[in-house]
Amino acid sequence: MCAQAADGKSSGGLIVEKRTLAENIYLMKVYAPRIAKAALPGQFVIVRASEHGERIPLTISDYDAVRGIVTLVTQVVGVSSRLICLKAEGERLTDIAGPLGRPSEFVHKTPSELMSGHWLFVGGGLGTAPIYPQVKWLHTRGATVDVVVGAKSASLLIFQEEMKAVCRALYIATDDGSVGQKGLVTDVIRRLVEENRQSYDTVVAIGPMIMMKFVAQLAQQYQIPSVVSMNTLMVDGTGMCGACRVTVGGKTQFTCVDGPEFDGALVDFDEAMRRQTMYREIEINGK
């Protein structure tokens, strides 16, 4: 039997470690043995920080089945994410449930397919954290992985050292040029493909929807298949509510059960970005 908390919440939720990665960006290692054991790259958890709190989906940024720990990276963007970020080491998340969603497609590939594969991962802002377990998973299986990370400036860059250790090359783009190339991740991708003549079998992009949209467009231009991880609104995260629906190839899909990863060439990003704003006014002005 797995370890079980006294109140019947099997997944624990104790924050065993908390670090500040950048301004308003925090890393939390959470004791959740069943989730850590079951997790695969690409999956997410649902977290609640208080009894009145919203259910917030967070992509898993790392997991350690032996220690029973999942790593989450969160950023203060609204009321609910602030509540999560305010939790201190030694405190507990009220709820943590998962792992949810389908794992990344590549976990089904054969060892030889992995060994011969060339991946390009693109992480934007907070999206850098969830690409880490994917890059690590592929790297440890002998795949060739390059990583492009984008941030506003050097001070907001996260997971730099961790990432360097598990990829062939790490490229950085910042809006202000404080580190790496000044510009967007797409500028770096262009340089890699057009000037450096790099060829990739797959591009995986995780970050703000607008970034994923342009990375997917560029990948399509180079005829490279792309995968994006949709960070839609969710309530239950288990397929019950449909708040997370996205149009993929003209068909409605539920991010929580059909995704969160989809073919970047087929996602209707404009609709997805609009749907993300559904409750923004209420969140700003109150109920």
Partner 1 sequence: MANKNPRIEAREQDPQMRRANFKEVCLGYTDEEAMLEATRCLQCRNPKCVPACPVNIRIPAFIAETAQGHFAEAAGIIARDSCLPAVCGRVCPQETQCEGHCILGIKGQPVNIGKLERFVADYNREHGAVFLTKEPANGRRVAIVGSGPAGLSCAHDLAKNGYEVTIFEALHKAGGVLEYGIPEFRLPKRTVVKYEIDNLKQLGVRIETNVIIGRTLTVDALLDEEAFDAVFIASGAGLPKFMNIPGENLNGVVSANEFLTRNNLMRAYEATSDTPIYTGRRVAVVGGGNVAMDAARSALRLGAEVTVVYRRTEKELPARVEEVHHAKEEGVMFRMLCNPVTVLGDERGWVRGLRCVRMELGAPDESGRRSPVVISGSEFEMATDVVIMSLGTSPNPLIASTTKGLAIDRRQCIVADEHGATSRKGVFAGGDIVTGAATVILAMGAGRNAAAAIHRFLTKPATPLVSTD
Q: Is 277 in the site for partner 1 (CB under 8 A)?
A: yes
Cα–Cα distance measured from residue 99 to residue 59, given in angstroms and rounded to the nearest whole number: 9
Q: 197: exposed, middle or buried (C-beta count within 10 Å: 0-12, 13-18, 19+)?
A: exposed
- DSSP annotation of 132: H
Length of the chain: 287
Cβ proximity to partner 1: between 91 and 283 the closer is 283
Query: How many Å apart are CA 3 and CA 34, to the nearest integer?
Result: 9
- Is residue 14 within the footprint of partner 1 (CB under 8 A)? no
Indicate whether 53 belongs to the interface with partner 1 (CB under 8 A). Answer: yes
Cα distance between residue 255 and residue 229, in whole Å: 9
For 176, list phi and psi in degrees, rounded to 5.
Answer: -100, 0
User: Of 97-105, 109-117, 177-185, 193-201, which segment contacts partner 1 by CB under 8 A?
Assistant: 97-105
Strands 95-100 and 44-48: antiparallel
Kindly tell me which of 154 and 257 has the beta carbon lying closer to partner 1: 257
Q: Is 209 in the site for partner 1 (CB under 8 A)?
A: no
CB closer to partner 1 out of 38 and 265:
38
Q: Does 115 bind partner 1 (CB under 8 A)?
A: no
Q: Which amino acid is at 280?
A: R
Rounded to 5 degrees, φ, ψ at 240 are -90, -30
Binding mask 220-249 for partner 1 (x = CB under 8 A): ---------------xx-xxxxxx-xxx--
Provide the binding-site residues for partner 1, judged by CB under 8 A. 1-2, 4, 8-11, 34-35, 38, 48, 50, 52-55, 79-80, 83, 94-100, 235-236, 238-243, 245-247, 252, 254, 257, 271, 274-275, 277-279, 282-283, 287
